[in-house]
Amino acid sequence: MRTTDATPVSTVTTGPIEGSSKRYEAVTGAEHLRYPVRRVHLSNGEHFDLYDTSGPYTDADAEIDVEAGLKRARDEWNRPEPIDGAATQLVWARAGIVTDEIAYVAAREGLEPEFVREEVAAGRAVIPANHRHPESEPMIIGKAFAVKVNANIGNSAVTSSVEEEVEKMVWAARWGADTLMDLSTGRNIHETREWILRNAPIPVGTVPIYQALEKVNGDPAKLTWEIYRDTVIEQAEQGVDYMTVHAGVLLRYVPLTAKRVTGIVSRGGSIMAAWCLAHHTESFLYTHFVELCEIFRKYDITFSLGDGLRPGSIADANDEAQFAELRTLGELTKIAKSHGVQVMIEGPGHVPMHKIAENVRLEEELCEEAPFYTLGPLATDIAPAYDHITSAIGASIIAQAGTAMLCYVTPKEHLGLPNRDDVKIGVITYKIAAHSADLAKQHPRAQERDDALSRARFEFRWNDQFALSLDPDTAREYHDETLPAEPAKTAHFCSMCGPKFCSMRISADVREYAAKNGLDSVDAIEAGMAEKSEEFARMGSSVYLPVRAI
């Protein structure tokens, strides 16, 4: 498997996330399948189960051998026969088949398999699962499901190594990345990807044009369909689950970017623009698109139709170039689906808040509601070093409007490549955006976690608050900066107000008082309170008032 001279990966992060343990639950109706759950153990004896993306790395008895790769579990799953040459979740779902992958993602999402099958059959959701990536734990991307998060990693000619990239993948999955894109552009592209795929419990995406460009020594004009096709097949054989293809960058769209403030900012888009101009020929990705479909349908690779002309600044948002390309992506969506290939659509970029909804509306109209997969968008250009935040604002809004997966942005966006810490910050920030959108969409299970954490907060169960949070380690660390002592973890106060006065405790007292006196509406209060006032004053003196309650 590994013909590489790259240094072997020595260690990756393993072990459970604080306050929780990893479990595997049987899939109802398909008991040979077991899906992962992270169980948070609460101090009141209850527990709270969370969707888990982290793979076997967080198992209590994890025995990870990155040289050998993860267990190829999906090799043992049932796989239906191809239909008219296509072996994809799309054609099977259309044929009414509930595949093992569908049963598995339904269990993970807490939904009925038949509902999942319908969404996949309609092309409103995709399950990126290359048959040659049997190490992956299938997941689903679609607006009817929890919003997903993608993490980009990858070395460049300037920086980073294979080991770093594999650890970044494990680390991203640990903190909640649902998929991973390997965007390497430097040396050892093939080997880096091989290490990542064999150890990735989450689907892996790539942009094959990057590797194709390496093969022609970085000169876009020298690219050919044949070089590109061979690169796609090479990556397909390795198990890449979805591929970004910038087939919507047509020759006639390129000059539409000339008057932009920031021109073409997509690497893939600019490679294809340079190629089209150099040859004055239509993009080979567009003219050979059906041949690509024929490759993708064999492996069940999902198209991620790239937005090569996405805006790179607020000034360029929603312009003619961007939407011209989106219309072409709509055409290509129909072609891909007619060949049985799963499709999602990539989106911007940089968009001010008031122009975000239009992107989703148009995408759904033009692309038959194929899952939208956006990069942010950044709601302003003026905060390099904080673009995880500028983009989380846009990401939350676009996800609320219907985007199915968000590509994270790290604090290093526009400035450098993310290191391991940046990857974690990017993932957590995007889990916030995705979850905020799930809440706003009133996704059935979303608010349960907020309520569990808020109850823990209200009841001063500090350890439970940490364990239920997206990043228990950092929450604990920040708390301990001011109140490090272990008794403070159960103290009925915190460092914000100090022990003498605490609003949370006062309102706990209010609750107890109201419950005892049946005061739960304005009417009840007006009727009942007068007679209770003396009693309250007594209770208040001995129980409620904070100074004395310590």
- Judged by CB under 8 A, the chain residues 277 through 306 that form the site for a second copy are 277-280
CA distance 292 to 340: 12
Encoded tokens for 435: 């979850």
Contact range with a second copy by CB under 8 A, out of 91-99, 111-119, 335-343, 386-394: 386-394
B/e letters for 486-497, b = 16+ CB within 10 Å, e = fewer, are eebbebebbeee
Q: Is 354 in the site for a second copy (CB under 8 A)?
A: yes
Cβ closest to a second copy, residue 166 vs residue 399: 399
Residue 95 near residue 86, CB atoms below 8 Å = no
CB of 96 or CB of 484, closer to a second copy: 484
Residues 468-527 that bind a second copy (CB under 8 A): 468-471, 474-475, 477-479, 481-483, 494-501, 503-504, 506-511, 513-515, 517, 519-522, 524-526
Considering only residues 98, 181, 200, 271, which one is a binding residue for a second copy as defined by CB under 8 A? Answer: 271
Q: Where are the beta strands (DSSP E) in 458-509?
A: none
Query: Which residue, 250, 207, 249, is CA-closest to 231?
Result: 207
Residues between 312 and 331 with contacts to a second copy, criterion CB under 8 A? 312-315, 320, 324
- 155: which residues sit within 8 A by CB, 6+ positions away? 161, 162, 164, 165, 184, 185, 186, 187, 188, 192, 417
Report CA-CA distances (Å) from 34 to 76, 179, 198, 393: 12, 19, 20, 36
Single out the residue of 426, 437, 425, 339 nearest to residue 396, CA to CA.
Answer: 437
- Residues 156-195 as x/- pattern, contact with a second copy by CB under 8 A: xxxx-------------------------xx---------
Q: Are strands 302-305 and 343-347 parallel, antiparallel or unpaired?
A: parallel
Nearer to a second copy, 80 or 218 (CB): 218
For residue 312, the SS3 value is coil
Does the protein bind a second copy through residue 273 (CB under 8 A)?
yes
Cα–Cα distance list, 392 to 333, 362, 450 (Å): 27, 21, 19
Q: How far is CA 119 from the centre of its chain?
A: 19
Residue 310 sits in the site that holds a second copy (CB under 8 A): no
Q: How far apart are CA 211 and CA 188, in angstroms?
A: 10
CA atoms within 13 A on the CB side of 279: 18
Residue 533 has phi, psi (to 5 degrees) of -65, -40
Q: Cβ of residue 71: shortest distance to a second copy, in angstroms?
A: 31
When asked if residue 21 is in the footprint of a second copy (CB under 8 A), the reply is no
Region near a second copy per CB under 8 A, out of 38-46, 129-137, 152-160, 298-306: 152-160
Question: In the stretch 27-66, what mask flags binding to a second copy with x, by CB under 8 A?
Answer: ----------------------------------------
Count of residues touching a second copy (by CB under 8 A): 147
367 is in an annotated binding site: no
497 is in an annotated binding site: yes
The residue within the footprint of a second copy, chosen from 150, 192, 429, 463 (CB under 8 A), is: 429
Scan residues 519-548 and list those touching a second copy (CB under 8 A).
519-522, 524-526, 529-530, 532-534, 536-537, 540-541, 544-548
Is 210 annotated in a binding site? The answer is yes
Burial (CB count <10 Å: 0-12, 13-18, 19+), residue 338: exposed
Does 68 bind a second copy (CB under 8 A)? Our answer is no
Residue numbers 201-230 binding a second copy by CB under 8 A = 213, 217-221
Binding-site residues for substrate, please? 152, 181, 210, 246, 266-268, 307-310, 346, 373
Residue set of the binding site: 152, 181, 210, 246, 266-268, 307-310, 346, 350, 373, 414, 494, 497, 502
- Bind-site residues for [4Fe-4S] cluster: 494, 497, 502
